[in-house]
């Protein structure tokens, strides 16, 4: 990616890969979703890096980050990000944005280190344990399938591209919104040994995520920092569900819909997302 530098950090129990760009005095941390990697931010990073320092890691088990056997609950994945950003890079405060599973990771990171997160953006996802239905009453059918032990791995062997293509074709507004070049990059990492296992583990950890988030809300109440919540308004975009979810777990929420976008917001509406993030992060 010409606008970002590829880096690796040794966290002891894992090697985490991350993209970095920009030299601004303030930092924005971008957390990707599934089945994507930090590559999903490639159109957004150049726009944000004119003003901010950007850090975009590949989450535990995904992309070019190593693939531990355990630790896919979102508190642990958030701890990975914290160790990278705070401990390894020495960044004390930052803005935070997460898409898809990167959203619950960002939420978990904020619950653990709220003083360090200046503003939080959640993109086309809802928060497990918010009181709503994470899987939209079964509309997101793959959630239950992915949580099934062993079977998804067995059925996906040598069919990784077929599985990824189905979601790329159906969860965006337009079937060609994920380019051939982008698909090849996602294939490259998701076809590595252990990558599909890691992907499924994000879903299998959902009961733990629900329990962790419910416990936090019960003990601490809603998040108090400013939150931006945006959902794609087409196809399998989350629509208004994103802002509704965040209002259940945070006090200061604004946002709404991402026009003409399904779920792949970084590829379908990068200019809109970049504009909204720049505006939101620049308000403080």
Yes or no: say if 176 and 92 are a contact pair by the CB < 8 Å rule.
no
The DSSP string of the chain is -TTSEEEEEE-SS-EEEEEEE---SSEEEEE--TT--GGGGTTTHHHHTTTSEEEEEPPTTSTTS---SS--SHHHHHHHHHIIIIIIT----EEEEEETTHHHHHHHHHHH-TTTEEEEEEES---TTSSS-TTGGGTSTHHHHHHSSSHHHHHHTT-HHHHHHHHHHHSSSSTTSS-HHHHHHHHHHHTSTTHHHHHHHHHHTHHHHHHHHHHHHHHH-SEEEEEEEEEESSTT--TTHHHHHHHHHEEEEEEEEETT--S-HHHHSHHHHHHHHHHHHTT-
Q: Which of 203, 209, 212, 241 is catalytic?
A: 203
Q: Which of 64, 73, 80, 100 is catalytic?
A: 100
Yes or no: say if 278 and 29 are a contact pair by the CB < 8 Å rule.
no
Task: Let me know if 100 is a catalytic residue.
Answer: yes
Query: Catalytic amino acids?
Result: 100, 203, 263
């Amino acid at each position: 990616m010409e606008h970002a530098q590829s880096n690796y950090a040794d966290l002891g129990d894992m090697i985490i890969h991350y993209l970095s760009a920009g030299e601004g005095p303030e930092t924005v941390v971008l957390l990707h979703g599934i089945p994507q990697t930090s590559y999903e931010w490639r159109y957004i990073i150049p726009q944000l890096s004119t003003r901010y320092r950007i850090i975009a890691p590949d989450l535990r088990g995904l992309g070019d980050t190593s693939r531990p056997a355990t630790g896919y609950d979102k508190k642990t994945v958030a701890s990975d990000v914290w160790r990278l950003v705070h401990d390894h890079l020495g960044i004390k405060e930052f803005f935070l944005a997460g898409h898809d599973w990167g959203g619950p990771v960002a939420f978990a990171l904020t619950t653990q280190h709220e003083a360090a997160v200046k503003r939080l953006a959640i993109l086309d996802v809802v928060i497990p344990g918010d009181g709503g239905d994470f899987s939209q009453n079964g509309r997101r059918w793959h959630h239950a399938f992915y949580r099934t032990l062993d079977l998804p791995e067995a059925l996906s062997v040598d069919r990784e591209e077929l599985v990824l293509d189905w979601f790329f074709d159906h969860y965006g507004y337009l079937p060609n919104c994920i380019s051939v070049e982008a698909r090849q990059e996602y294939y490259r990492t998701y076809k590595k040994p252990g990558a599909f296992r890691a992907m499924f583990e994000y879903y299998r950890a959902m009961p733990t995520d629900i329990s962790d988030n419910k416990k936090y809300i019960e003990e601490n109440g809603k998040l108090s920092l400013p939150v931006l919540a945006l959902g794609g308004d087409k196809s399998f975009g989350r629509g208004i569900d994103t802002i509704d979810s965040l209002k259940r777990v945070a006090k200061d929420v604004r946002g709404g819909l991402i026009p003409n976008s399904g779920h792949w917001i970084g590829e379908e509406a990068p200019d809109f997302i970049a504009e909204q993030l720049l505006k939101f992060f620049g308000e403080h």
